[in-house]
């Protein structure tokens, strides 16, 4: 039996502060990806807008039902007959809180899966950059997968990529393709982006597909770009630069079976004690 294959595309963006302008760009690039043969198209984290000021962000975003971009992209997926994975949109869930929420849309325009980013990027970087994602966003609490015609897809977002246990959980629950659409900073991206993407692929025997924001944004933030499609053995199949563009690669699921047969580490988990367990035994 021939293993399933499909063509995946990453749409790299350089989103600004206008949802309408960003929608125009993403629509054109998704159309390009479909015209080039993509069956599955992924956009980056914060596809709607990249805005660091809370007041400006909440002036523009709404609930999922009120979102201006989502219905247009659902219609676009239906028109093009593709699976469209929106890396994330800022979605209002309370007066002063949002979810950083991913959507996977089917070729019928239906939302097949939602995922709220679990791990919040709260950090002070050398050079003065500071991020407090938890001040604006409420973290999710559920790992999510979705079944596509070819395979099961594991859904994550950006900073999640640093937490290996999440990807192992997704792989052990049947995911053969993992995703981490992102808006990585230039500094952390240059140091860790390729390393983390390839490591998650190798340790799970999965493909990893991650569309990214790239370049200098209206709000002054600079993101790393370099959208990646990585094979289960760690090879980079496609890579973007720093400007908006489309990259594509064929996803041959036979490569997952091959990698996992060579290194079957997903089946080799062991129960281990930690220092606290040993202290409790000594005390008793």
Q: Is 222 left (phi over 0), alpha (psi -120 to 50) or beta?
A: beta
Amino acid 2: pLDDT: 62
Would you tell me how many other CB atoms lie within 10 Å of the CB of residue 1? 3
Asked whether residue 126 carries a pLDDT value surpassing 90, the answer given is no
Q: How confident is the model at residue 1 (pLDDT cuts 50, 70, 90)?
A: very low
* 216 assigned to active site: no
Q: How confident is the model at residue 281 (pLDDT cuts 50, 70, 90)?
A: low
How far does Cα 198 stand from its chain's mean position? 14
* 97 assigned to active site: no
* Assigned token pair, 220: 């002054």
- Residue for token pair 């990806």: 33
The length of the chain in residues reads 284
Choice among 45, 51, 144, 206 that is catalytic: 45
* 117 assigned to active site: yes
| pLDDT tens sequence across 205-256 | 999 999 999 999 988 889 999 999 999 999 999 999 999 999 999 999 999 9
Choice among 10, 15, 51, 117 that is catalytic: 117
> What are the residue boundaries of the structural domains of the chain, listed by start?
5-283
Choice among 15, 51, 144, 158 that is catalytic: 158
CATH ID of 5-283, from 3.40.720.10, 3.40.640.10, 3.40.50.720, 3.60.110.10: 3.60.110.10
**For the chain, how far is it from start to end, CA to CA, in angstroms?**
57
CA gyration radius, the chain = 19
Would you tell me how many other CB atoms lie within 10 Å of the CB of residue 66? 10
Q: Which segments of 80-129 are extended strands (E)?
A: 83-94, 97-105, 111-116, 122-124
């Amino acid at each position: 039996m021939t293993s399933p294959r499909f063509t995946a595309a990453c749409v790299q963006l350089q989103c600004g502060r206008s949802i309408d302008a960003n929608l125009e760009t993403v629509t054109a690039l998704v159309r390009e990806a479909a015209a080039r043969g993509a069956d599955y198209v992924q956009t980056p984290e914060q596809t709607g807008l990249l805005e660091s000021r809370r007041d400006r962000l909440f002036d523009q975003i709404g609930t999922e039902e009120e979102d201006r971009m989502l219905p247009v992209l659902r219609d676009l997926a239906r028109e093009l007959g593709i699976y469209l994975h929106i890396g994330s949109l800022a979605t209002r869930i309370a007066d002063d809180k949002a979810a950083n929420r991913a959507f996977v849309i089917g070729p019928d325009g239906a939302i097949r899966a939602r995922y709220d980013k679990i791990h919040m990027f709260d950090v002070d970087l050398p050079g003065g950059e500071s991020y407090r994602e938890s001040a604006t966003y409420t973290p999710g609490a559920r790992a999510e997968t979705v079944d596509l015609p070819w395979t099961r897809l594991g859904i994550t977002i950006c900073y999640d990529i640093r937490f290996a246990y999440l990807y192992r959980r997704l792989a052990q629950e049947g995911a053969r393709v993992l995703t981490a659409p992102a808006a990585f900073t230039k500094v952390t991206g240059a140091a860790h982006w390729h390393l983390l993407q390839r490591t998650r692929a190798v340790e799970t025997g999965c493909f990893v597909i991650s569309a990214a924001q790239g370049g200098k944004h209206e709000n002054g933030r600079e993101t790393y770009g370099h959208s990646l499609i990585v094979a289960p053995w760690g090879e980079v199949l496609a890579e973007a630069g720093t400007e908006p563009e489309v990259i594509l690669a064929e996803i041959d699921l036979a490569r997952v079976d091959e990698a996992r047969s060579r290194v079957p580490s997903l089946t080799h988990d062991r129960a281990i004690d930690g220092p606290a367990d040993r202290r409790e035994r000594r005390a008793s």
